[in-house]
Amino acid sequence: MADNGQRRTTGRGQIYGSILDTIGNTPTIRVNNLAPDGVEMFVKFEAFNPAGSVKDRLAVNIIEAAERNGTLKPGQTVIEATSGNTGIGLAMVCAQKGYPLVIVMAESFSVERRHLMRMLGAKVIITPKELSATGMLQKTRELAEANGWFVAHQFETEANADIHESTTAQEILGDFKDQRLDYFVTGYGTGGTLTGVGRVMRKERPDLKIILSEPANAQLVGSGEAQKRLDSGEPAEKHGAFEPHPIQGWTPNFIPLVLQEALDEGFVDELRPVPGPDGIAWAKRLAAEEGIFTGISGGSTFAIGMELAQNAAPGTTILCMLPDTGERYLTTPLFEGMPDLMTEEEMALSASTPSAQMG
């Protein structure tokens, strides 16, 4: 700030070669109003990525790793099954690099995600909601085999966790250099964030406790039931513990291969389930009381962070991953009951002065 207290900016000191160069280096932000007294709470806010979510990281690395190893040919069509954020990230990357993109997405995911992918040039194939994630994957395999397309394989590819090992984890280390950090809280969609961060933190911050969350009514990891897989690492069938849940982007109806590494290597110190309504409630409170506008997945992670904080010793420091922006959830339960016009309270406030009254 300047001497008079007014905020000033000076630019970032560089000009970026493309939108893809702005991926990563997302901010760690202090939680001021919701954190209990004596507990330091922070969020890593992935909405600052250019396409609005943590999945921008894996999207660019999947494409660039395939370019490096020659599995993706110039002009080849890319295809992927996604609940939305990976598709949006891939659409941004493919638009910049000139690859046609086809996304396969179950009809249960929010319509604004389809609009964003189409705006970025992708084609979107919609599958029946009752078939969930495994139905999306089957359709993706069929279309790829029939047309010779490149499958991104976000749930299986090494490029997923690798980018979190080389970026997300390094950013956390840098942000908390010479500072205490007791807990890192995350959910999982593919498991890439957990696995990549876990690889680094087990070596660099071995005292850090990594907390994994999943929906209370879809506790795949918590069930202890192993995931049946094809030779490719893809799921052979839906996991027996899966039930539909409102935390879009989290916990598909199988345990991803990328996540399996973190489970096998012992990166998870504690597993905590979270009810979907709790995630919605905390996402709303983060927006209204901190000005941090995240989605249901971010609210769900923060709900677990608050659980930890309520019983934590003074001085405890907690970092929660917020995967995306709340704008991905406009047609979901996060905005249920939100009026299009005015509430009674707003109408009364408007009526308190004479001009510009609604009929």
Q: Which residues are catalytic?
A: 55, 297
**Tokens (6 digits) for 29:** 């932000």
The amino acid present at 68, given as its one-letter code, is R
Q: Are strands 40-45 and 28-30 parallel, antiparallel or unpaired?
A: antiparallel
Give CA–CA dist 47/197, Å, rounded: 18
Nearest to 212 by CA among 162, 168, 263, 248: 263
User: Looking up tokens 């007791």, which residue turns up?
Assistant: 182
Report yes or no: 84 and 64 within 8 Å, Cβ to Cβ.
Answer: no
Length of the chain: 359
Q: Which three-class secondary structure state does DSSP give residue 20?
A: helix
User: Looking up tokens 């980018």, which residue turns up?
Assistant: 163
Report yes or no: 255 and 239 within 8 Å, Cβ to Cβ.
Answer: yes
